[in-house]
């Protein structure tokens, strides 16, 4: 099967946006909440009959499996166009047909026909068509953007609904809204024809049999179970519960639908990006943890007749609806990503049809059960007088809360078994992605390509200070920036990020010989990240003819990563004395961190050779903990004084009593008396088995002149708590 080009995918995504713009609004009217309200207010159907309609409609989806072989030969776009034409005719019939002549059976037949044709068309071919025009890298963002577009359109419709209808909907009002599904199908007919698709060779057309179905179900068991458990966390007849059990007015019910759509729309601004960046596994886990926040607000919702505090009821219902919309949006994005991950392009029509049929059938059973619950468990649960002022509890709410909690925890166990397609991210990154700094990073990332070199460099510093999944991905995108300075800034900020994804991308750059001018900074960053996968490549650099500066950075990186295999080659490099001492001192630094005990002799032999005060201070600073003494004298006084003067200044600032007890050693230090320091240090380590102490003492006897070794020995004698 030939893949679509990136240009064709972009074109397909554009027309998919337009084709799907009014689809949810059409569903809202024909098979969704407005249909439920119309069925009760105008057709006077009981909750049992309404739930039966909602339950029967999905059951017919299994019939489409019989047509899969023929449908797959037609082409995805053609399937959708033909079925949309037939659906348009059915909507026209419902508009012109007199309401008083609509019986339950006729209404059921019309809806079944409408749904069945939709299942043959959009239900069969839409997701495979979307599979063609997306990839694993952009699927979450694409679906999020597409959902944002059609959710905003739906938001406008659901916002208008409470203004058009009052406490109940009329036949004329409902027929007015039926124009929406008609427009939806016209948009689908016009736009879908322009979407490119991959064509399946008829020789490889789908042969449907019992064995094929069983095989595909086995492959889909994990994503199917996720979808089923997601369905169980929701109460699909919540609108019916509000309308016919709690007797809330239609305008209040439709307002709650509007608020739910608002939560859905606003959250879609981030769910797609989050799903693409941290992966569907972490997203669906985190989203449903957030979903548990709905429960307290559900308890506040009361029947109209029991309302003593109307604002509390409205607030509870609207907050519950808003959170539900947010959770529904995030869950939908993650669930679709899971479905597409487990489906191949070649068999996508079959896979998605089986997937949809099973999930719809089980959803049908769930709806039917919900209908029975609504009819039989309306009895209020008595509470204390104090609680009853704020909380209303009935059998239906107990059922909703119990199934939601149990389904959530079952979902968590199932999600754990899914592959993490972004292994460098975990659940904690989901919640980090929701904080204000992440939102700021998301906004800033959209501005990167509008800035000049200096602006992009500045923004990289901002991303570095706000380490989150969004900023990491933005910094990674800057690794391909044309500016040298911007690249360097991005590399160094990624080194500070602590991100495994940063390590993975930087290591790929290190292996590219054409990027050698950046290798020094990349090695530093990999050392900061302690990226051990790069250890072998970094060690090889120490045996190459690369610059002293790069090798020095490589030594330090090996020390930070903790590569004990590098100790032999570091010992060779510590002996290489250049005018700057950069390589030797860096190897010395790494050996102190890797294996101080066995490398102590080489380290103490090298220290006196370093003439640069900055190098001496650094080495002495990291040696102090190994000698069990404080490095305060270096940190406070070493900024402006030489090491010898810094230690003397530190001593002079101590109390008179402290100095009196150590006056002989202090005098020897001030006079540079090497022999006395040797003698005192030998007494100090007498009976000690500490290999580092012994190595320092041995090194002292190799010298007759004052050097940093005597300074360290003096500090150990004076400052040790022994």
537 lies in the same domain as 389: no
129 lies in the same domain as 116: yes
- Tokens at 640, concatenated: 């402006």
The confidence score (pLDDT) of residue 588 equals 96
The confidence score (pLDDT) of residue 694 equals 95
Q: How far is Cα 613 from Cα 638, in angstroms, rounded to an integer?
A: 9
Q: Is residue 279 part of a domain?
A: yes
pLDDT band at 617 (very low <50, low <70, confident <90, very high): very high
The Cα-based distances of 570 to 200, 549, 567, 576, 594 in angstroms read 59, 15, 5, 10, 10
Q: Is residue 393 part of a domain?
A: yes
- Per-residue three-class SS string for 539-553: HHHCCCCCCHHHHHH
| Sign of the Cα pseudo-torsion (480, 486, 487, 492, in order) | negative
Q: Is residue 167 part of a domain?
A: yes
Domain boundary among 560, 580, 608: 608
The confidence score (pLDDT) of residue 556 equals 97
Q: Is residue 585 part of a domain?
A: yes
pLDDT band at 494 (very low <50, low <70, confident <90, very high): very high
The answer to whether the beta carbons of residues 564 and 539 sit under 8 Å apart is no
Domain boundary among 608, 638, 672: 608
Is pTM beyond 0.85 here?
no
The Cα-based distances of 403 to 96, 231, 295, 371 in angstroms read 42, 10, 12, 15
Query: Environment class of residue 472 by beta-carbon count within 10 Å: exposed (0-12), middle (13-18) or buried (19+)?
Result: buried
79 lies in the same domain as 187: yes
Give percent above pLDDT 90 in the chain. Answer: 36
Q: Is residue 522 part of a domain?
A: no
Q: How far is Cα 324 from Cα 334, in angstroms, rounded to an integer?
A: 15
651 lies in the same domain as 550: no
137 lies in the same domain as 262: yes
List beta partners, residue 380: 394
425 lies in the same domain as 441: no
pLDDT band at 486 (very low <50, low <70, confident <90, very high): very high
What average pLDDT does this structure show over 243-262? Answer: 85
CATH number at residue 415: 1.20.1250.20
List beta partners, residue 394: 380
pLDDT band at 128 (very low <50, low <70, confident <90, very high): confident
Query: End-to-end alpha-carbon separation of the chain, Å?
Result: 77
What average pLDDT does this structure show over 247-253? Answer: 83
pLDDT band at 721 (very low <50, low <70, confident <90, very high): low
What average pLDDT does this structure show over 370-382? Answer: 80
Residue 45 has pLDDT above 70, yes or no: yes
Q: How far is Cα 695 from Cα 442, in angstroms, rounded to an integer?
A: 55
Q: Is residue 413 part of a domain?
A: yes
What average pLDDT does this structure show over 656-684? Answer: 91
The answer to whether the beta carbons of residues 5 and 189 sit under 8 Å apart is no
The confidence score (pLDDT) of residue 541 equals 93
- Tokens at 591, concatenated: 């050996």
What average pLDDT does this structure show over 572-595? Answer: 95
The answer to whether the beta carbons of residues 108 and 53 sit under 8 Å apart is yes
The radius of gyration computed from the CA coordinates of the chain, to the nearest angstrom, equals: 36
Q: How far is Cα 700 from Cα 599, in angstroms, rounded to an integer?
A: 16
Q: How far is Cα 34 from Cα 52, in angstroms, rounded to an integer?
A: 16
Q: How far is Cα 615 from Cα 688, in angstroms, rounded to an integer?
A: 29
Residue 324 CA from chain centroid, whole number: 20
pLDDT band at 405 (very low <50, low <70, confident <90, very high): very high
Tokens 């990563």 belong to: 561
Residue numbers of the domain that contains 236 = 6-196+207-429
The confidence score (pLDDT) of residue 248 equals 83
The Cα-based distances of 668 to 97, 643, 700, 708 in angstroms read 111, 16, 15, 15
The Cα-based distances of 242 to 239, 303, 376, 378, 674 in angstroms read 5, 8, 15, 12, 91
The confidence score (pLDDT) of residue 214 equals 64
Q: Is residue 693 part of a domain?
A: yes
182 lies in the same domain as 38: yes
418 lies in the same domain as 476: no
Torsion angle of alpha carbons 445, 450, 456, 462, nearest 10°? -40
Query: Environment class of residue 432 by beta-carbon count within 10 Å: exposed (0-12), middle (13-18) or buried (19+)?
Result: middle
The answer to whether the beta carbons of residues 328 and 235 sit under 8 Å apart is no
The confidence score (pLDDT) of residue 548 equals 95
38 lies in the same domain as 157: yes
In the predicted model, what is the mean pLDDT of the chain?
85
Q: How far is Cα 441 from Cα 447, in angstroms, rounded to an integer?
A: 10
Tokens 């059409």 belong to: 26
579 lies in the same domain as 467: no
Residue 604 has pLDDT above 80, yes or no: yes
Q: What is the pLDDT of residues 138-156, one digit of tens each?
A: 777 787 778 778 888 888 8
Number of independent structural domains in the chain? 4
Q: How far is Cα 199 from Cα 124, in angstroms, rounded to an integer?
A: 15
What average pLDDT does this structure show over 189-194? Answer: 90
322 lies in the same domain as 367: yes
Residue 418 has pLDDT above 90, yes or no: no
Q: How far is Cα 207 from Cα 69, in angstroms, rounded to an integer?
A: 6
The confidence score (pLDDT) of residue 433 equals 85
Tokens 């230090």 belong to: 669
Residue 359 has pLDDT above 60, yes or no: yes
The answer to whether the beta carbons of residues 292 and 349 sit under 8 Å apart is no
Q: What is the pLDDT of residues 432-454, one digit of tens each?
A: 888 877 878 877 887 787 888 88
Residue 216 has pLDDT above 80, yes or no: no
Segment among 243-257, 283-297, 377-391 with least mean pLDDT: 377-391
What average pLDDT does this structure show over 277-306? Answer: 84
Domain boundary among 397, 429, 461: 429
586 lies in the same domain as 659: no
The confidence score (pLDDT) of residue 200 equals 57
Q: What is the pLDDT of residues 59-78, one digit of tens each?
A: 666 666 666 666 666 778 88
The answer to whether the beta carbons of residues 151 and 264 sit under 8 Å apart is yes
């Amino acid at each position: 099967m030939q893949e679509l080009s990136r240009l064709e995918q972009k074109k397909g995504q554009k027309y998919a946006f337009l084709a799907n713009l009014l689809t949810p609004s059409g569903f809202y009217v024909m098979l969704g909440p407005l249909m439920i309200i119309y069925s009760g207010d105008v057709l006077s159907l009981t909750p049992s009959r309404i739930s039966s309609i909602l339950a029967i409609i999905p059951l017919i989806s299994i019939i489409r499996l019989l047509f899969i072989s023929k449908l797959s030969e037609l082409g995805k776009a053609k399937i959708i166009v033909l079925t949309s034409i037939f659906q348009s005719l059915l909507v026209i019939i419902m508009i012109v047909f007199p309401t008083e002549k609509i019986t339950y059976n006729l209404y059921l037949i019309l809806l079944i026909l409408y749904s069945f044709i939709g299942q043959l068309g959009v239900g069969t071919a839409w997701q495979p068509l979307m599979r063609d025009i997306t990839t694993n890298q952009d699927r979450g963002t694409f679906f999020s953007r597409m959902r944002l577009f059609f959710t905003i359109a739906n938001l406008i419709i659901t916002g208008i609904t409470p203004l058009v209808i009052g406490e109940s909907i009329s036949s004329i009002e409902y027929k007015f809204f039926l124009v929406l599904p008609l427009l939806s199908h016209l948009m689908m007919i016009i736009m879908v024809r322009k979407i490119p698709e991959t064509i399946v060779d008829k020789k490889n057309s789908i042969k449907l049999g019992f064995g094929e179905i069983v095989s595909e179900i086995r492959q889909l068991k994990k994503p199917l179970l996720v979808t089923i458990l997601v369905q169980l966390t929701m109460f699909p007849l919540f609108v019916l519960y509000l309308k016919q059990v709690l007797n809330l007015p239609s305008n209040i019910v439709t307002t709650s639908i509007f608020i739910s759509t608002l939560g859905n729309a606003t959250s879609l601004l981030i769910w797609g990006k989050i799903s693409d960046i941290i992966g569907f596994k972490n997203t669906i886990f985190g989203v449903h943890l957030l979903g548990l926040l709905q429960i307290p607000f559900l308890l506040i919702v009361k029947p109209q007749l029991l309302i003593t505090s109307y604002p509390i009821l409205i607030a509870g219902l609207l907050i519950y609806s808003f959170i539900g919309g947010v959770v529904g949006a995030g869950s939908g994005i993650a669930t679709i990503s899971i479905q597409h991950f487990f489906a191949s392009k070649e068999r996508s029509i079959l896979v998605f049809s089986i997937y949809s049929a099973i999930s719809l059938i089980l959803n049908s059973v769930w709806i039917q059960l919900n209908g029975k619950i609504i009819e039989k468990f309306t009895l209020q649960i008595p509470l204390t007088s104090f609680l009853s002022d704020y909380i209303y509890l009935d059998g239906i709410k107990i059922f909703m809360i119990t199934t939601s909690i149990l389904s959530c925890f079952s979902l968590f166990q199932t999600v754990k078994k899914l592959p993490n397609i972004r292994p460098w991210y975990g659940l904690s990154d989901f919640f980090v992605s929701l904080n204000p700094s992440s939102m700021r990073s998301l906004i800033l990332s959209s501005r990167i390509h509008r800035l000049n070199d200096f602006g992009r460099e500045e923004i990289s510093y901002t991303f570095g200070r706000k380490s989150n999944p969004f900023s990491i991905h933005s910094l990674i995108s800057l690794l391909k920036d044309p500016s040298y300075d911007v690249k360097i800034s991005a590399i160094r900020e990624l080194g500070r990020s602590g991100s495994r994804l940063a390590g993975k991308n930087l290591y790929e750059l290190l292996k590219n010989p054409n990027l050698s001018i950046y290798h020094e900074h990349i090695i530093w960053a990999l050392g900061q990240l302690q990226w051990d996968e790069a250890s072998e490549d970094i060690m090889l650099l120490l045996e190459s003819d690369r610059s002293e500066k790069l090798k020095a950075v490589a030594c330090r990186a090996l020390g930070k990563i903790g590569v004990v295999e590098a100790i032999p080659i570091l010992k060779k490099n510590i002996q290489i004395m250049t005018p700057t001492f950069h390589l030797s001192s860096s190897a010395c630094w790494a050996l102190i961190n890797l294996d101080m005990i066995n490398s102590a002799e080489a380290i103490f032999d090298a220290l006196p050779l370093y003439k640069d005060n900055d190098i001496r201070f650094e080495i002495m600073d990291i040696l102090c903990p190994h000698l069990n003494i404080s490095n305060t004298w270096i940190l406070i006084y070493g900024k402006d004084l030489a090491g010898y003067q810094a230690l003397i200044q530190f001593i002079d600032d101590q109390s008179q009593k402290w100095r009196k007890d150590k006056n002989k050693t202090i005098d020897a230090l001030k006079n540079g008396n090497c022999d006395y320091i040797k003698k005192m240090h030998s007494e100090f380590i007498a009976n000690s088995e500490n290999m580092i102490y012994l190595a320092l003492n041995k090194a002292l006897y190799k010298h007759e002149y004052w050097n940093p070794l005597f300074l360290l020995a003096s500090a150990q004698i004076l400052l040790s708590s022994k």
